Amino acid sequence: MPRPQTKEITFTIDGREVTAPENIMLVDGAKHGDVEIPVFCYEPKLGAPVGACRMCLVEIEGIPKLQTACSTPIKDGMVVHTQTDRVHEAQRAVVEFLLINHPLDCPVCDKGGECPLQDITYGWGAGTSRFIEPKRHFKKPLELSPLVAIDRERCILCYRCVRFSQEISEDYQLILLERGAASFVGTFDGRPYVAPFSGNITELCPVGALTPSTYRFRARPWDIEQGGTVCTLCPSQCNVSLTVRDEKVLRVLARDNDGVDDGWLCDKGRFAFQHAHSEERITQPLVREGVALLPASWEKAYAAAAAALKKAGPKAAAIAADETTNEEAFLLQRLFREELGSGNLATPGAALPIEVTRALADPALQARVEDLEFADTVLLLDCDPLDDASILDLRLRKGIRRRGVKLAVASAHPTALDDSAKVVLRYAPGGGEAFLVALDAALSGDEGNLGGGASAAGARAGDVRALRDLLDGDVVVVFGERLLRSESVANALLNIVSRLGMRGRAGAGLLCLPSTTNGRGLAEAGFAPGHGPGYQPLEQTGRGLGDIADGLADGDLSVLYLLHADPLRSLGDRARWERALGAPTTTVIAHESVMTEAVREYADVVFPAEAYPEKEGTIVHPDGRVQRLRQSISRSGDVRATWQVIVEVAGRAGLDLGVLAGPMASHQLFGAVPFYAGLTLDTIGPQGTRWVEGQQFDIPEWTPVKLSVPDAAPAATNGSLRLGTFRTLWASKEVDVSPALAFARPDPVVEMSPVDAERIGIGHGDEVELGSNGTKFQGRAVVRAAIPAGSVFVAEGVGELALTEALVEVRALTSVGAAPVDGDAGQPATDAAAGEPTEVGTAADQTGADTDTHPAEDASGEPRGDTR
Amino acid sequence: MQLLFDDIDRAGLNTLAVYEEKGGYEQLRRALSMSPEEVLSELQASGLRGRGGAGFAMGKKASFLPHGDMDKYVVCNADESEPGTFKDRELMQKNPHLLIEGLAIASYAVGATRSFIYIRGEYDYVADILDAALAEAKTARHIGPTMGDEGYGLELWVHRGAGAYICGEETALLDSLEGKRGNPRLKPPFPAVQGLYQGPTLINNVETLMNAPIIMRMGGAEYAKIGTETSTGTKVVSVSGCVQRPGNYEIVLGTPTREIIYDLAGGPGEGRSIKFFFPGGSSSPVLPGTDENLDLPYDFDSLAKAGSMLGSGAIIVVDDTVPTIDVALKTAKFYKHESCGKCTPCREGTNWTVKMLERIDSGMGTPMDLDIMSSVCDQIIGNCLCVLGDAMAMPISSMIKHFRTEFEAHMEARRAEAGLGPDGALSGNDVTEDRGGPYALTGTRTS
């Protein structure tokens, strides 16, 4: 889809000739001439202007009435006046009108000092009010949700929050209730506004009406400073500005970067900052003595780790995940490869042969985040952006709503974007490869493989054809790294890319959502078994994730070095990792910021790791943007920088890494990765740099290879159902230790279709047990109409999930819920949080103890005053 | 001259049989045999101006719709909610087929294939009549997927609103019709370009559309000869208030106002005189009952020249027994209640004005309040998203302008009654006891 073209025009504002792009709104155009026009309701991020607050009235020659500058596009030759008596009078009147019902409680208001209403009143108001009648009153403040407090008396009814809910996050929960001067913002029936992006309204609010509950009365603007960095809680890597008071993070604000996040944050990113100051933080080194993990000096911990590594040599293995920076990964792989002679370096992502990895990482194939907004079609493959890289969910909604992007979804588990998709194709859990084979066949006209692949995937050939028909023009394929289980899957994907002619096509491309925050950066820094820094070939490859687990269990490997990785929670196959970690020969060295089960039970040496606000270094966004983490607060307790710890351990193990400061590590990395050539911390800058934009890989264009239809996913039988897993945004250690997000912590659930639930006799909310081969998993049944019959789904990283078989037996333990009925009121907390308001659901008791924190009962917000 | 009211009280006119006997649906068939452009040019030639309030030329508005093959709509605004206006009710109740025929002609002229009659919820029984008439028209294939030889088809729905004044504002009506909260939209884009479901949309009042078959029958040029040069045709005027024979009267535009109020509606009661009147519904600036004003020709331009407007054509007469402040307070309260709350000046301004008027009425006002009120009204007029705010500000502002001395006298009298001295000081003993109104307003309410 072509990007809008801009043409420069000249117009006159307050007697000055100003040049600006044609058709931008006058409010923005005026800025090109250094003229500020005050606004309340106008916010370009929210889409088309509404012209509700009337603050931006200006005089335009040739138009008798005053016009709202927020909704008037500038034209060549337009003559605008913002400083006439008429304009001043109208602006003063609007300020006076807005303050009629505003309590003017600025001295106790959290917004005081950073409040647009305050600023505009000083700048454009009359300074006095002629209003002497009683103001309207509301109960205040109320919980709009567990995260947001609402003070309706301060509200100036600018509609920003409501527009966000209706048109950006599309959760459709916030509405204006009542009419005229009695209007107030609320939700249907006073229910809590629980949605994955709800916190953004606190930043949109131009007054102190919506404030984050975590920031209320914590600081005033003159107490705080802002530190810009990047959130590392998921692969979206949103740019954030941390509000810091006395070395503590008190608030997370979006730091607009259109190339990354469009200025929005998810509630995890906005509220899980609390993990940095949690009681659960590990703040000093720990060394296991006997069975107990005891605090130790840094010297002792360094020595213990170095000794274990030296002894293990090539029998050492390392796993990096989550907030690991490129520099940390790069230094650790140097230690492993150069000193220990071990290439056993794994991440939660895929380990594929180097040719395939390089083919997928080809700069000519990489889509940008903005392409999601301008593509003709976006295909989501085995991923749900909401859970895999949450902020992309909003970007896709924007593209679909404002630019008519067509969305196709192909996944096993239902996604939050299904309702916005033109085609939704559901295949059986594990049927991803077969689906890709079918799609490739559909594109190449191979009817045999199309039928065979579709049938093996548990999908209909007709649906595959319908999906194929959408793949026209600029196509962006967004896929979850989890899809790349084997080389044959990657081949199928590359075939499709080749058949769609995506290589080198601007506006089209691949966007891989990695399994861990910096998945792309780890691979580029050479933290992989199959390639070195910059995807350079190795003489000898190391073990992948599964082989590491088996090697440890069998005693072939003896040291496991965990760089922010939690094998028991986020690497799947828990039983296998329990065997690996629990093997008598295994020594575990871990860098971790909060206490996890793996650390508590199995770690022998624990280095306290920084929370992301304490970190410096670089990470790479899934679209190839190298971004910079900057330390915003001092490190808690005895915590030392992870790069420093690695350097110290390496030194004691016999390798001088030659790094004395963080930037030196970055410098080494940029020198070692060929395509980072020329990069410096300065050139990365506040918005990051996409290295893929000036680089080319010297690789031949992919020629489609012959694919064979994989074995069909096992079919559900009467006694057992297919097991699939899905990721949830909320399953993370940071959420677990953030008190504000306690209500969002996911409980173990078993999602199943109404058909299966009815057949087995399970009601929504019942406790159920999944079992195979003697391994069991218990959870609460969530009956969803969107789940295809024959499959059950459990969330990764929630509960002790050790099931590995494709088929599981399901049985009810207790029966607490009603029969699964469509359209019943109520939502499980996790579902509501995941923004799926259309699912079936019963069980008012599902939120359990959480309901206590919900303000449902007193959020009705009846005005008390005399307004009626 | 009776065009719309021709035979209006004939029994059974609301049925298809009687309507067809009178030549009903012949004009629609004739229109279908012409090209849409020809029909449109007839409408344009008639000079018919919108009867809903704004008085915009109907044919011109219809010509703004883009040509070409796209989803276009015609919406009939039957949300007649302006206080004092009740002409559409009688017209729809007694002659529903004329509206359906007119709507179909307009739809054909602009190339719309889906049309709606948006009727206010309170007109439930009228909506039933329309539904019944529409069912008859569909059965008789006057309305439906195949209406003419050229294969033109029209789907028509009667949609009931939920009873909000703001939904009579054309863009709020569209929002409401789409199932949203009825709030006005920002213009431009105007509905003719981007209206219902983002498609080009023609919105017209009931009476306007009902004139379409008449224009087709007479020919646009012939119709234009009725009335004045710029206000062609006849107009159904709703006369109410202090008159002896309130009701709907069809007049030729340009008829002297005095004739309407006195000759048709019987004038005010014995021994009373007209203090002022709203010439075009409760949102029009009032005109004092002077000879000069009563002699005004009742047409769009003459009333505009006199500082008011023809609006929806509803004359509300106020005689000398009615205190102006009562009328002002009632009017302001109505608009405060009906303000949608989307834009600031209207939401806060109507609210503020009511509070001031209540205070004045309770005896706590000072002449300065009148200045503040005028200035508040001035700041509402022209600065809002739609004209609802203006609809309150214009009459209130005109009442203060024309009857300032009466307001001041009223204040003095109420202050004396409330036991307040001329300087506002209390002359009574206990300010909170038994004094109700005035103190309740300034005291703090905690309940």
In order of their start, the domains of chain A are 8-83 (3.10.20.740), 286-349+518-694 (3.40.50.740), 356-502 (3.40.228.10), 720-856 (2.40.40.20)
Instruction: Give per-residue burial for A475-497: e unless 16+ CB within 10 Å, then b.
Output: bbbbbbbbbbeeebbbbbbbbbb
Q: For A90, which of B337, B351, B383 is closest by C-beta distance? A: B383
* CB proximity A66 to B under 8 Å: yes
Contact between A227 and A253 under an 8 Å Cβ cutoff? The reply is: no
pLDDT greater at residue A854 or residue A578: A578
Contacts of A51 in chain B (CB under 8 A): 186, 343, 385
Residue A832 has pLDDT above 50, yes or no: no
Distances (CA, A) of A133 to A137, B213, B364: 12, 53, 11
Distances (CA, A) of B243 to A47, A711, B253, B319: 52, 90, 21, 9
Contacts of A69 in chain B (CB under 8 A): none
Q: Residue A675 corresponds to which tokens in the numbers above?
A: 């395509």
* CB proximity A101 to B under 8 Å: yes
d(CA A497, CA A367): 12
3-state secondary structure at position B409: helix
**How many helices and strands, by DSSP H and E, does chain A display?**
27, 34
Assign domain B16-224 one CATH number from 3.40.50.11540, 3.40.50.720, 3.40.1020.10, 3.40.50.80: 3.40.50.11540
Phi, psi dihedrals of residue A508, rounded to the nearest 5°: -120, 165
Q: ipTM score here? A: 0.91
Residue A192 has pLDDT above 80, yes or no: yes
Q: For B383, which of A57, A71, A181 is closest by C-beta distance? A: A57
* CB proximity A86 to B under 8 Å: no
d(CA B188, CA B447): 45
User: Does the distance separating the beta carbons of B337 and A66 come in below 8 Å?
Assistant: no
Contact between B346 and B290 under an 8 Å Cβ cutoff? The reply is: no
CA proximity to A755, closest of A789, A803, A801: A789
Query: What is the C-alpha R_g of chain A?
Result: 28
Contacts of B351 in chain A (CB under 8 A): 100-101, 180-181, 867
Residues of chain B by 3-state class (helix, strand, coil), percent to 5: 45, 15, 40
* CB proximity A862 to B under 8 Å: no
pLDDT of residue B302: 96
Give the distance from residue B384's alpha carbon to the nearest chain A alpha carbon, in angstroms. 7
Contacts of B338 in chain A (CB under 8 A): 179-180
For the ranges A292-306, A623-637, A797-811, the lowest mean pLDDT is seen at A797-811
Give strand pairing partners of B439: none
Residue of A25, A41, A54 to mutate, testing the B interface (most B Cβ within 10 Å of its Cβ):
A54
User: Does the distance separating the beta carbons of B186 and A50 come in below 8 Å?
Assistant: yes
3-state secondary structure at position B231: coil
User: Does the distance separating the beta carbons of B445 and A134 come in below 8 Å?
Assistant: yes
Contact between B363 and B419 under an 8 Å Cβ cutoff? The reply is: no
List, in sequence order, every beta strand (DSSP E) within A441-502: 475-480
Q: Residue A234 corresponds to which tokens in the numbers above?
A: 């998921």
d(CA A111, CA A117): 9
Q: Tokens 């002609």 correspond to what residue?
A: B105
Residues of chain A by 3-state class (helix, strand, coil), percent to 5: 35, 20, 45
Q: Quick one: DSSP state of residue B242?
A: S
Give strand pairing partners of B248: B238
Contacts of B444 in chain A (CB under 8 A): 134
- Amino acid type, A392: L
Q: For B351, which of A49, A98, A180 is closest by C-beta distance? A: A180
* CB proximity A67 to B under 8 Å: no
Give the distance from residue A832's alpha carbon to the nearest chain B alpha carbon, in angstroms. 23
3-state secondary structure at position B342: coil
Model's pTM, two decimal places?
0.91
Q: Residue A439 corresponds to which tokens in the numbers above?
A: 């799609």
Give the distance from residue B336's alpha carbon to the nearest chain A alpha carbon, in angstroms. 7
Q: For B186, which of A49, A90, A175 is closest by C-beta distance? A: A49
Overall average pLDDT of the A637-653 stretch: 97
Contact between A365 and A509 under an 8 Å Cβ cutoff? The reply is: yes
For residue B125, how many C-alpha atoms fall within 13 Å in the half-sphere facing its CB? 4
Count of CB atoms within 10 A of residue A297's CB? Answer: 12
pLDDT in tens, A688-728: 999 999 888 888 889 999 999 998 877 877 778 999 999 99
CA geometry: angle A383, A387, A390, nearest 5 deg: 105
Contact between A123 and A39 under an 8 Å Cβ cutoff? The reply is: no
User: Does the distance separating the beta carbons of A65 and B382 come in below 8 Å?
Assistant: yes
CA proximity to A369, closest of A403, A392, A400, A398: A392
* CB proximity A695 to B under 8 Å: no
Assign domain B324-417 one CATH number from 1.20.1440.230, 3.30.420.10, 1.10.150.120, 1.10.1740.10: 1.20.1440.230
Give the distance from residue B379's alpha carbon to the nearest chain A alpha carbon, in angstroms. 6
Q: Where are the domains of chain B?
A: 16-224, 234-319, 324-417
User: Does the distance separating the beta carbons of B442 and A180 come in below 8 Å?
Assistant: no
User: Does the distance separating the beta carbons of B385 and A51 come in below 8 Å?
Assistant: yes
Q: Give the pLDDT band of residue A775 (cuts 50, 70, 90).
A: confident
- Domain B234-319 class? alpha beta
Interface of A with B in 128-147 (CB under 8 A): 130-131, 133-134, 137
Give the distance from residue A84's alpha carbon to the nearest chain B alpha carbon, in angstroms. 15
Give the distance from residue B48's alpha carbon to the nearest chain A alpha carbon, in angstroms. 25
* CB proximity A53 to B under 8 Å: yes
CA geometry: angle A377, A383, A388, nearest 5 deg: 115
Distances (CA, A) of A188 to A292, A563, A572: 53, 46, 40
pLDDT per residue, tens digit, chain B (447 aa), is 899 999 999 999 999 999 999 999 999 999 999 999 999 999 999 999 999 988 999 999 999 999 988 999 999 999 999 999 999 999 999 999 999 999 999 999 999 999 999 999 999 999 999 999 999 999 999 999 988 666 899 999 999 999 899 999 999 999 999 999 999 999 889 999 999 999 999 999 999 999 999 999 999 999 999 999 999 999 999 999 999 999 999 999 999 999 999 999 999 999 999 999 999 999 999 999 999 999 999 999 999 999 999 999 999 999 999 999 999 999 999 999 999 999 999 999 999 999 999 999 988 888 899 999 999 999 999 999 999 999 999 999 999 999 999 999 999 898 888 776 655 555 444 444 444 444 444 434 343
Contact between A445 and A704 under an 8 Å Cβ cutoff? The reply is: no
* CB proximity A100 to B under 8 Å: yes
d(CA A337, CA A309): 12
Contacts of A94 in chain B (CB under 8 A): 344-345, 379, 383
CA proximity to B183, closest of A135, A162, A400: A162
Q: For B339, which of A54, A131, A181 is closest by C-beta distance? A: A181
Contacts of B369 in chain A (CB under 8 A): none
Interface of A with B in 173-202 (CB under 8 A): 175-176, 178-183
Residue A856 has pLDDT above 70, yes or no: no
Residue A816 has pLDDT above 80, yes or no: no
CB proximity list for B68: less than 8 A, separation 6 or greater: none
User: Does the distance separating the beta carbons of A94 and B445 come in below 8 Å?
Assistant: no
Q: Residue B26 corresponds to which tokens in the numbers above?
A: 């012949």
User: Does the distance separating the beta carbons of A182 and B343 come in below 8 Å?
Assistant: no
User: Does the distance separating the beta carbons of B385 and A54 come in below 8 Å?
Assistant: yes
Overall average pLDDT of the A286-292 stretch: 95
CA proximity to B278, closest of B48, B91, B53, B123: B53
Q: Residue A17 corresponds to which tokens in the numbers above?
A: 């000739």
Q: Quick one: DSSP state of residue B264?
A: I
* CB proximity A868 to B under 8 Å: no
Q: For A54, which of B344, B372, B447 is closest by C-beta distance? A: B344
* CB proximity A856 to B under 8 Å: no
List, in sequence order, every beta strand (DSSP E) within A437-551: 475-480, 509-513
Give the distance from residue A139's alpha carbon to the nearest chain B alpha carbon, in angstroms. 11
User: Does the distance separating the beta carbons of A52 and B343 come in below 8 Å?
Assistant: yes
Residue-by-residue DSSP string for A721-742:
EEEEEE--TT-SHHHHT-GGGG
